[in-house]
Structure 1
């Protein structure tokens, strides 16, 4: 028996009363993918474990040598000589801190957090300063007098220091405690470490340096080293940078810090918590720079008395809800010097944000974003209830749903990534918007697949109009199934066609595996949509890693939220079927998230404001206005007349009237309710009155009047008014219905109730 003759149950998708079995190929592919993801470690964890062990051995060696040096016994360690040419150059650019009156001003005792600012790079080699007349030239010449310019150029690498005008610092400060007693060793000295990121304003490329520094709280000064990511900094050398009176206090901080790092590293190795550094340098990308820096920094003093600053710090570290002074502004001036590369980099008043303040800010954002995504999910579910019928689904554009699905999938990935990076501090709050974004993505993708399946037969539905000169008997008594086939082409059968066994076996043996996989992907609508969406997200994740491409994607996606819906409505000649609350609510929520990141200067990602975002927001709401006007004034109201020729099927063609002397004035029986489709008597009276006026207006020629009467009688058609024409509907398969009956039927299924052929939208 051919496949098309197999008895089917269209309501629940069963064949011969049995549920259709899924093929084993999807399960095999899914299991293979899971196993690949679980077993594909690429050796990163093993390499990271070896790096941890090497770092542990290095720290143990440093501790033993530093302890011996501090005790005055034989040791391989010694402090390098102080470079007397560096300090005059630093003093010219940087004004060091001095003690403040504690009743009038103070310094921040802890600036753990994030700092952003702008900087300027100077080439201080002898060749670059040959034609310069800057006042600090003699100091720079003396500092780099023994520098080999060729070697300096090689160490500087490919990084463009001149274009590195933006700089960001992430810094962690912690007091050094005695490992025996657990007491803080000094109230005036703290160790700081972190990362510096320089950004090339031309390419948006980034250069990362790791730094270790010593912080003197009393005068707000920092002294430290900065090296490219991947090179280890020897913190034992920090005492060589500080002024002579502070060398012993700095040296006392080193041994407990090394012991604490050894203990932490050993614990990580024993517990198996090996973390692969995502920012580790990639050997395939090459080394951007190999310059080593020494730096000094100074905090800008605040106008807050010392006792109030102490209360504020205690409240930040251990919140109790007590009222304190408003946190003062954090600003830092810094100077980086690289003698081996001949580079001086100046940072002027980089503004900072405390990490605890930042985490509270992230929590507030997560709560707001969670509410926004909850509203979006609620609106989508409401819209899915409204558009649950085939006629409602046929109005919706699946591309509008897919655009939003990709946006929500990236939002889910971004929130989860930041939740992991925050190391439990704000991760729980970020899980809420991530979960809701993922749920929203799943609903949008499933709804898009449903829309795709319902709209799949659209291209196969015939759009030719029935011939007006149809024999009335053919309309009143519809022909058999073979009759309309000669007039209207039969829609192509979706799915594989039955082939002879020999041909199928031959094709199967000659078809490559990749082609078979592609045919499998494209044969199932659900698999095809999910596979296309998966590839699109994978490519998009790669593209959006670039800041420029990320902004372009946001602009493109937000400018195309409702554009596919507008195009579909205009092409199909039907309204969108989307409720006002869904259109306005979804647009408001999407635009709110976009404005937060691209307009708010204090957003959690520190994205610089872009004024063109307001134009993009207005364009989104302009699209909403067009969709609403399409529902009110027609889908093509904004198009010129020559573009309004929408190729849609007309269910209300002009049909001939039945004989006036027939006992029943009807076009036939409705194929759904089986009642007669009656002709309105007022329509016949209007047609006869029109004929009488035509006869009385021409009195000059009786013959012409008589011929006009008979010709008018032959051309009387149903269609004298819009109401009359809409009382019946003629399907492409020539089955006639009441319009009201067919509308109710199409709200359930979009096939003809008599011949089961697909029907176009009514």
Structure 2
């Protein structure tokens, strides 16, 4: 898009395509001549006769079955996962040495130069690999032979990923092969990414009876690839080769893949109907799809490595994409519910009093969870194709909105609660005026008296030269940044959020302890709210609807990917996720009890007693002869704070002032009511209680001196 087809990079890519087209034309010409029995530069390589017996010791190849009683899957396009068991053919262990295939492996390794094996193996830890993943494309080839069309052979291609349990790295191999539909057998060659493969050598792997049909299928595939390459060159739509940007191959071993599909008990015509419905769904009822399973062997004669593939389970691409679309719809609804619950709770807690009750870390943790959700869904959308890629954008976009709103909420809460953590500013005492020179301070009887003659002028004082104050040292940028982060709560919160996001990106991309990190986030989501409510002896203000709905919505994603055995990412279930779910609901129960019983109900009495500030202390009543019987003026509305007439001072017959009491029993009630009408702040500014309540709903600082105020 940036070069519009005129840059040097596009020109280089076009030259590579032209060179590739020329090479394919040359290969096809020689291959066709070899098939027709004319002079050719191509010769089919001869496979070692010990390969097939060794492979059959691990895999039993299938045969044609009665189409009325059973069938094989004809389309293997999809994603496969299975376990592998490595065997080092150059150094057999005790159990392998006693096996029936020991002599076959020895015969296979006789022509191999063992001194060159370590250099070919590379840096990959072959003996630790225990997992295998396959992404496979299966394309049915129609070829002409003996004047008629045949379609019993399919060309397969894809990638093989080997992984080990304690490492996030993978060894990737590209493979090309043939799939015999009538027997469900697979024969393929595999090389490290970046190393070329000659498709014409595939017929050497198949049995003699299928060699001719496989050779014709390979010829048809080469012709098809040449035609597609010509179309790309003519249209100028060049694909960038991603293999060039990958790391250098970890190995130079050449592999052969032999696999066998598991037969099903479904008749052939019903299997064809099922696969047609999977590829192009119309809504008709079909038989239940059986599990797609294969077993096989991945063999490298040059390196003496054999991997035994056990029960690899596959999911066809179309079924997986529909599963992703279904998941995206459910995830979109869950995120919409989470967004609606958050907006409703944010509206309820929009006042300063509401924001002072909730914990900023609760929303900060949720924003990190939504950041992980956004990154994960976007990555899934990039890897998926077609409609699933677009459907995943919906939950990703909602997760991004949730992240932004919750991060803003956390910053706002931090700004409102910042005065709580600010140190109190004590009043600076004014120093007494210094006594004049040559005089005695009052009350200092021990100080000698100095006689000062009024006839003689005082000695001249040297003129005082004003000194210029020293300029502070100029701070470096890092010092200024550190001071700003340390003193500004908003900057400190954004810094913590940014560092947390960097950790999240690293975890999601590098897959370094992601499950432990996510589990810890879920476990601590409500803990900080419980701690704040108990510490401040105030309820959280979070509604039961928000608590339960948010907990269920968050647990949907965690329990799906870590509890469901057939999730779309094929993540192995972790049983500890159910303990995390129970722990979260226990936290919700504690918050509910804090609302009903008390914020610190679970603490001992000696720990739950928190000294709170009394805004209504007893104040002396105004003098009875004062023109206005008030306690003073409100610092907010500037109106007088009136005293109840029944409590005003009056003189008795003995000349003493006392408050007038209408009824003795109602005195305490009247005093209490009067005290509730005024509020005295810790900074000794007096307010109407109603005025201060309205002010604290906006800000929790004194409107006069700007000092932080405790909850009213």
Q: Please give the range of the TM-score, normalised by the shorter of the 2 chains.
A: 0.7 to 0.9
Q: Distance in 2 between the 1:279 and 1:624 partners?
A: 52
Q: Distance in 2 between the 1:135 and 1:683 partners?
A: 111
Q: Would the alpha carbon gap of residues 161 and 315 (structure 1) be closer, same or farther in structure 2, given more than 3 Å must change?
A: same
Counterpart pick for 1:655 among 614, 618, 621: 618
Cα deviations by residue, 1:680-700 (Å, 9 ceiling, x for unpaired): 97999xxxxxxxxxxxxxxxx
Alignment partner, residue 695 of structure 2: 745
Aligned partners of 2:270 and 2:287 also within 8 Å: yes
Alignment partner, residue 732 of structure 1: 682
Cα deviations by residue, 1:453-512 (Å, 9 ceiling, x for unpaired): 222232236499xxxxxxxxxxxxxxxxxxx7769xxxxxxxxxxxx99988x86xx544
Q: Distance in 1 between the 2:362 and 2:239 partners?
A: 43
Q: Does 1:102 align with 2:67?
A: yes
Aligned partners of 2:120 and 2:252 also within 8 Å: yes
Q: Does 1:192 align with 2:156?
A: yes
Q: CA deviation at 1:562?
A: 1.3
Q: Does 1:132 align with 2:97?
A: yes
Alignment partner, residue 184 of structure 2: 220
Q: Distance in 1 between the 2:477 and 2:23 partners?
A: 53
Root-mean-square deviation (CA), in Å? 3.7
Q: Distance in 2 between the 1:351 and 1:121 partners?
A: 19
Q: Does 1:363 align with 2:320?
A: no
Aligned partners of 2:253 and 2:303 also within 8 Å: yes
Q: Does 1:309 align with 2:271?
A: yes
Based on CA coordinates, which of the two structures has the bigger radius of gyration?
2
SS in 2 for 1:761: coil
SS in 1 for 2:302: coil
Q: Distance in 1 between the 2:631 and 2:262 partners?
A: 92
Deviates more, 1:229-238 or 1:566-575: 566-575
SS in 1 for 2:387: coil
Q: CA deviation at 1:439?
A: 1.1
Aligned partners of 2:367 and 2:406 also within 8 Å: yes
Alignment partner, residue 390 of structure 1: 352
Q: Distance in 1 between the 2:159 and 2:17 partners?
A: 19
Counterpart pick for 1:561 among 518, 525, 529: 525
Aligned partners of 2:194 and 2:243 also within 8 Å: no
- Consecutive unaligned residues of structure 1, counting only runs of 5 or more, are 1-36, 465-483, 488-499, 685-716
Q: CA deviation at 1:258?
A: 2.5
Q: Would the alpha carbon gap of residues 680 and 314 (structure 1) be closer, same or farther in structure 2, given more than 3 Å must change?
A: farther
Q: Would the alpha carbon gap of residues 62 and 73 (structure 1) be closer, same or farther in structure 2, given more than 3 Å must change?
A: same
Counterpart pick for 2:337 among 375, 379, 388: 375
Q: Does 1:80 align with 2:42?
A: no
Cα deviations by residue, 1:152-173 (Å, 9 ceiling, x for unpaired): 2332233233332222211110
Q: Would the alpha carbon gap of residues 400 and 660 (structure 1) be closer, same or farther in structure 2, given more than 3 Å must change?
A: same
Q: How many residues align?
A: 649
Cα deviations by residue, 1:722-746 (Å, 9 ceiling, x for unpaired): 8876554221221223434322221
Aligned partners of 2:133 and 2:162 also within 8 Å: yes
Cα deviations by residue, 1:169-194 (Å, 9 ceiling, x for unpaired): 11110112579xxx995321101111
Q: CA deviation at 1:398?
A: 1.7
Q: Distance in 2 between the 1:50 and 1:533 partners?
A: 48
Q: CA deviation at 1:443?
A: 1.0
Q: Would the alpha carbon gap of residues 677 and 84 (structure 1) be closer, same or farther in structure 2, given more than 3 Å must change?
A: farther
Q: CA deviation at 1:227?
A: 1.5
Q: Distance in 2 between the 1:156 and 1:236 partners?
A: 25
In the superposition, the TM-score normalised over structure 1's length comes to 0.77
- Counterparts of residues 362-511 of structure 1 (less than 5 Å): 362-460=324-422, 462=424, 510-511=474-475
Q: CA deviation at 1:65?
A: 3.4
- Consecutive unaligned residues of structure 2, counting only runs of 5 or more, are 431-466, 650-666
Q: Would the alpha carbon gap of residues 344 and 317 (structure 1) be closer, same or farther in structure 2, given more than 3 Å must change?
A: same
Cα deviations by residue, 1:94-113 (Å, 9 ceiling, x for unpaired): 11111111111111111211
Alignment partner, residue 93 of structure 1: 58
Q: Distance in 2 between the 1:305 and 1:534 partners?
A: 59
Q: Distance in 2 between the 1:56 and 1:719 partners?
A: 100
Aligned partners of 1:600 and 1:609 also within 8 Å: yes
- Counterparts of residues 211-290 of structure 1 (less than 5 Å): 211-265=175-229, 267=231, 271-275=236-240, 277=242, 281-283=246-248, 287-290=249-252
SS in 2 for 1:347: strand
Deviates more, 1:424-433 or 1:675-684: 675-684
Q: CA deviation at 1:198?
A: 1.8
Alignment partner, residue 605 of structure 1: 569
Q: Distance in 2 between the 1:551 and 1:407 partners?
A: 12
Q: Would the alpha carbon gap of residues 54 and 565 (structure 1) be closer, same or farther in structure 2, given more than 3 Å must change?
A: farther
Cα deviations by residue, 1:55-82 (Å, 9 ceiling, x for unpaired): 5554444334333433444433211013
Alignment partner, residue 714 of structure 1: none
In the superposition, the TM-score normalised over structure 2's length comes to 0.82
Aligned partners of 1:409 and 1:441 also within 8 Å: yes
Q: Distance in 1 between the 2:624 and 2:700 partners?
A: 37
Q: CA deviation at 1:516?
A: 5.7
Q: Does 1:209 align with 2:197?
A: no
Counterpart pick for 1:66 among 31, 50, 60: 31
SS in 1 for 2:136: strand
Alignment partner, residue 128 of structure 2: 163
Q: Would the alpha carbon gap of residues 53 and 742 (structure 1) be closer, same or farther in structure 2, given more than 3 Å must change?
A: farther
